[in-house]
Amino acid sequence: MIKPHAASELKPLFVYDTERHHALNSEAETLPSLLVSSAAAANAVMLGAGYFTPLTGYMNLKDSLAVAESLHTSDGLFWPVPIVNMVSDVSAIGDSKRIALRDPNVEGHPVLAVMDVDAIEEVSVEQINFMAENIFGTLDPAHPGVAAFVSQGNLILSGSIQVLNFSYFQTDFPDTFRTAVEIRNEMAERGWNKVVAFQTRNPMHRAHEELCRMAQEDLGSDGILIHMLLGQLKPGDIPANVRDDCIRKMVEIYFPANTVMITGYGFDMLYAGPREAVLHAVFRQNCGCTHFIVGRDHAGVGDYYGGFDAQTIFDEKVPEGALEIEIYRADHTAYSKKLDKVIMMKDAPDHEKDDFILLSGTKVREMLGNGIAPPPEFSRPECAQILMDYYQSIDG
């Protein structure tokens, strides 16, 4: 396994020591508290789980602007996306320097973390727009990531945090949610050294399955980390528990034993395309993965990004040596009727469009909602059944 990003070992901010954890929980109940945004809560979970090593907490305005502009903090740490706690009102905490952060996504808003506040800074509309445009490549309010980012508030709280729980992720997804610490430990137990990671916020179709298989074979990796996002998504995306069921069924039937780890992480989808692809690479390096699959329109939404912008950013914006993890560049994959298998479309210059089985997401959702399974070349029948049951349950 490779070293974590910019550190010799992982730096999870979760308080693992039982005595200290209990003491902090008790202290937190006496502290002024702040209900944070879902995005800030997800950042706390990722910091707690070691995914955001070597960060020690939320960034200040100077670092946030620097990261948005140049993918580096003001002191030179390579980082692709500002990790912030932005709010609209701090009247509840006054001038307190130590506060409790409360979870917006769990009933009763339990304490998520204790924060030592270094600064509370006002962010101008121009600065918010500058960050949003650099992160997302657009200021279009219809972009779900832009809409979420600009609506958090104009006050940025910076400082270190100590994390006390992993929000709803550990309770709702006990078999899937894993910290970077746990993933590294399991890889070591399995004897895996070379590991390729696959990111997903969707159920995996045949093309995704074969892409993982291609990458493993091409790289000679010991295993595949299927790492699914478990946090907030835009309306219309398939819930994490349904995706989890599909992926587990696919791996159980179609992959050899001890070649795949199915895990998930507690983060909200940014839909930031190229910038998010780099963030994905950073925290997969922190998991111990040596390679990361970046496919067509990785982490994209709508038509905001070019098909391969998430690959070219690694050439144009990631300095040599900034990351140890290597990128496995994937083209659009589809089932070839000529060759009777899934291939990367770039590897078939003799093919016409009609030689592939290509279905739009809209068409697939329509079929599933009507109880019609997509062709087996597109989706494994066992996975299609899970999705049909889901779509029919929401339509009914």
Return the axis-axis angle of helices 381-395 and 240-254, rounded to nearest 10°.
160
Q: What is the DSSP string of 333-380?
A: EEEETTTTEEEEGGG-TT--GGGEE---HHHHHHHHHTT-PPPTTTS-
Question: What is the DSSP secondary structure assignment for residue 212, as one 8-state letter?
Answer: H
Tokens of 113: 């973390």
State the burial class of residue 374 (Cβ atoms within 10 Å of its Cβ: 0-12, 13-18, 19+). buried
- Distance between CA 6 and CA 18 in Å, rounded? 28
Tokens of 99: 């506060």
Q: How far is CA 96 from CA 90, 100, 120, 152, 371, in A?
A: 10, 10, 10, 21, 56
How big is the CA angle at 144 (ends 140 and 147), to the nearest 5 degrees? 65
- Distance between CA 203 and CA 206 in Å, rounded? 10
Out of 98, 190, 201, 213, which one is annotated catalytic? 201
Q: Reduce the DSSP state of residue 296 to 3 states and report it.
A: coil
Tokens of 278: 């780099």
Out of 202, 213, 248, 365, which one is annotated catalytic? 202
Say whether 201 is catalytic. yes
The identity of residue 359, as a single letter, is L
Q: How far is CA 111 from CA 30, 94, 101, 115, 167, in A?
A: 11, 18, 6, 11, 9
Which residues form the catalytic set? 201-202
